[in-house]
């Protein structure tokens, strides 16, 4: 039995609460330290001085303080930590698709929650931009748990005005709006074109990461019979004979070819990419990415 729209709205606070509990735990136990190491602060700043200890780097000696106190003192520095994270989440109709227990949009909301809680646990700001072929929602970056709950509420209640996708429009908005360096996560299924220029621009100015979401049926169809496939953004339809081994193999090869071409484009653009799937847990992929970022930077 399908839930009414009113019942779905009433269930949302419980859903958000469950997501908050799980995401805070994951952020605290698995990702907070990795996030801190992967996205370092913008520099270091002077903190205080203390007496020299054996093994201290002689280059940190504070000669003025040492002369005044007639003992060797060294300068201590702390990382200038505060950063800003922006979550760019695809709200187009194709993100509603999911062949299993969750849709692409639900996976995008889950990964957004974990990233947002990782940010605030490191005292960083976090903001949200939901886009289709236009900017649907923009929540300016702020700190704190309340900000993350506002973001989650918006993600789960979103009702975009458009069904289409224009990734470049969202990237252009961020380029014009955000001049200071930020950590930018683009969370999308990449069902669009002509976004390379925008990605290159953000990648040059910010810590830019692509979270590419897919579904098992994006790669391979089950053996069944005639399947009507409708493009959720344009409404165009095609029929595939999923009872034909040849037709299934052609579909699979075509999808593999497109995936390989996309991978090569992203490599040429030097875009850090995390590949997520609605049919699998994202924990392993996110951990692998954070370890890669820590080694890289």
Q: What is the distance between the alpha carbons of residues 273 and 201, in angstroms, rounded to a whole number?
A: 16
List the alpha helices (DSSP H) in 141-213.
Answer: 145-157, 167-177, 196-205
- φ and ψ of 84, to 5 deg: -120, 130
**What pLDDT sits at residue 12?**
61
3-state secondary structure of 181: coil
Highest mean pLDDT out of 15-24, 49-58, 184-193 = 184-193
pLDDT at 56: 84
Does the pLDDT value for residue 32 go beyond 50? yes
Query: Kind of pairing, strands 183-188 and 135-142?
Result: unpaired
Q: Residues 56-89: pLDDT tens digits? A: 888 888 899 889 888 998 887 665 567 999 999 9
Q: Which helix (H) or strand (E) holds 210?
A: strand 207-214
CA quadruple 25, 29, 31, 33: dihedral sign: positive
pLDDT band at 10 (very low <50, low <70, confident <90, very high): low
Burial label, 97 (beta-carbon count in 10 A; 0-12, 13-18, 19+):
middle
pLDDT value of position 50 = 87
Under the banding of pLDDT at 50, 70 and 90, the label for residue 38 is: confident
- Give helix 167-177 / helix 196-205 axis angle, nearest 10°: 30
The predicted model gives 30-53 an average pLDDT of 74
What whole-number percentage of the chain has pLDDT above 90? 55
pLDDT at 9 over 50: no
Least confident segment among 20-24, 29-33, 146-150, 213-217 = 29-33
Neighbours of 187 (CB within 10 A): 26
Among 289, 119, 274, 148, smallest CA distance to 212 is for: 274
Quickly count: other Cβ atoms within 10 Å of residue 181's Cβ.
Answer: 12
Taking the C-alpha atoms of residue 225 and residue 244, their distance in angstroms, rounded to an integer, is: 8
- pLDDT, tens digit, 9 for 90 and up, residues 239-271: 888 888 888 999 899 999 999 999 999 999 999
Given this model, what pLDDT does residue 221 score?
87
DSSP 75-130: EEEEEE---EEEEEEE-SGGGG--SSSS-HHHHHHHHHHHHHHHHHHTT-EEEEEE
% of the chain with per-residue pLDDT over 70: 91
Q: Can you give the pTM of this predicted structure?
A: 0.81
Q: Which two tokens stand for residue 128?
A: 């949200």
Write down the pLDDT at residue 1: 33
């Amino acid at each position: 039995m399908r839930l009414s729209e009113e019942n779905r709205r009433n269930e949302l606070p419980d859903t958000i609460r469950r997501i908050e509990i799980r995401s805070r735990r994951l952020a605290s136990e698995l990702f907070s330290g990795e996030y801190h190491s992967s996205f370092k602060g913008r520099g270091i700043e002077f903190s205080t001085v203390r007496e020299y200890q054996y093994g201290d780097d002689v280059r940190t000696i504070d000669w003025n303080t040492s002369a005044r106190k007639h003992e060797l003192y060294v300068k201590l520095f702390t990382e200038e930590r505060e950063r800003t994270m922006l979550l760019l989440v695809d709200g187009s109709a194709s993100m509603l698709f999911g062949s299993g227990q969750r849709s692409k949009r639900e996976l995008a909301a889950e990964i957004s929650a974990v990233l947002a809680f990782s940010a605030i646990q490191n005292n960083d700001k976090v903001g949200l931009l939901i886009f289709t072929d236009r900017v649907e929602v923009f929540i300016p970056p702020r700190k704190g748990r309340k900000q993350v709950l506002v973001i989650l509420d918006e993600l789960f209640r979103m009702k975009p005005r458009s069904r289409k996708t224009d990734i470049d429009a969202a990237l252009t908005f961020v380029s014009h709006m955000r001049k200071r360096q930020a950590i930018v996560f683009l969370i999308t299924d990449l069902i669009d074109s002509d976004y390379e220029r925008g990605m290159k621009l953000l990648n040059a100015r910010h810590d830019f990461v692509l979270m590419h979401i897919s579904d098992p049926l994006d790669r391979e169809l089950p053996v069944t019979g005639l399947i009507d496939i409708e493009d959720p953004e344009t409404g165009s339809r095609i029929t595939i004979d999923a009872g034909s081994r040849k037709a299934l193999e052609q579909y699979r090869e075509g999808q593999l070819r497109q995936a390989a071409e996309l991978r090569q484009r992203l490599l040429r653009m030097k875009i850090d990419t995390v590949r997520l799937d609605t049919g699998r847990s994202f924990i392993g992929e996110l951990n692998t990415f954070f370890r890669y970022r820590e080694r890289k930077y």
